[in-house]
Amino acid sequence: MPTGTTDQAVHAVPTPPTIASLAALIADPSRATILLALLGGQSLLASELARAARITPQTASAHLRKLVDGGLLVSHRVGRHHYFRLLSPEVAHVLESLSTIAPPQRVRSLRQSDEAKAMRCARTCYDHVAGELGVAIAERLLEQRWLLLRGDAYEVSATGIAALRRLGINVEDLLRGKRHFAKPCLDWSERKYHIGGALGAAIATKMFELAWIERVPASRAVKVTQVGKSALQAHLGLYANEIPT
């Protein structure tokens, strides 16, 4: 067989992914803290990530370089500042999945207890809503048959398309996009599913735009506003006792 043909055949053989190198990147405590700080989907400065991980800016810079080179983060410049964010929803999904099997962090102070409670109530999981609020929304959309669970994905019904359109969400555009339309994302705190994918992102974006939810400063946690409490009942049928506070 000609050499060129042999080379082509060798290159055509798929090789297993090198998960060990990625696992090593995530395993470092400082890098894990940096990744979790970015799990809310926002872009943060290197200095902010250094404070979150409680390390020096120089050490943070070295860790961030490894995470970018390893394909977990991307960076972009705004003026003189460098911002970092997770590379993709797939990276966020891996981190959230690991969180479901990781042992819980020991709470050592009242502040940590309050932060943990806020995270359980409602938070962002990359670009969609998670925690008690995210699970409640997913369950209500299933109960109203706006969404139907088919295997490992959600499908939208005709009723759901019309209802979501009234919220300003164009489902047809989402279905035509390259991103997975809607998938169950296992919630690490509730051990139930919230809505991921393009639909989960669209719902979260709309909730922020309409001021139904707002971010808690320096946290992935979000809280439901008074406007949001009324709107969630009117549009989704979530009553006050079903909305985490």
Provide the pLDDT for residue 14: 62
> From CA 53, how far away is CA 129, in angstroms rounded?
24
Q: Pinpoint the alpha helices (H) of the chain.
A: 3-12, 19-27, 29-37, 46-53, 57-69, 89-101, 110-121, 131-143, 158-166, 171-176, 197-209, 226-231
pLDDT > 90 in the chain, percent: 65
Mean pLDDT of the region 31-52? 93
Provide the pLDDT for residue 5: 46
Mean pLDDT of the region 30-40? 93
Question: Would you kindly state where each structural domain of the chain is located, as residue ranges?
Answer: 17-87, 111-242
Confidence label for 17 from pLDDT (cuts 50, 70 and 90):
low
Q: What tens digit of pLDDT does each residue of 155-177 get?
A: 999 999 999 999 999 999 999 99
What SS3 state is found at 182?
coil
> From CA 65, how far away is CA 75, in angstroms rounded?
9
What amino acid occupies position 61?
A: S
CATH fold label, 17-87: Arc Repressor Mutant, subunit A (1.10.10)
Q: What tens digit of pLDDT does each residue of 88-131 get?
A: 988 998 898 888 888 877 777 887 788 889 999 999 999 999 99
- Does the pLDDT of residue 241 top 90, yes or no? no
- Does the pLDDT of residue 11 top 70, yes or no? no
- Does the pLDDT of residue 2 top 60, yes or no? no
Query: What b/e string do you get for 109-118 counting C-beta neighbours within 10 Å, with b at 16 or more?
Result: eeeeeebeeb
> From CA 154, how far away is CA 123, in angstroms rounded?
21
147-150 vs 44-45, strand pairing mode: unpaired
Tell me which residue has tokens 């991921």: 196
Name the more confident of 13 and 179: 179
Q: What is the mean pLDDT of the chain?
A: 89
Provide the pLDDT for residue 4: 47
Q: What is the pTM of this model?
A: 0.78
Q: Please compute, for residue 216, the number of CA atoms within 13 A of its CA located in the half-sphere on the CB side.
A: 19
- Does the pLDDT of residue 38 top 60, yes or no? yes
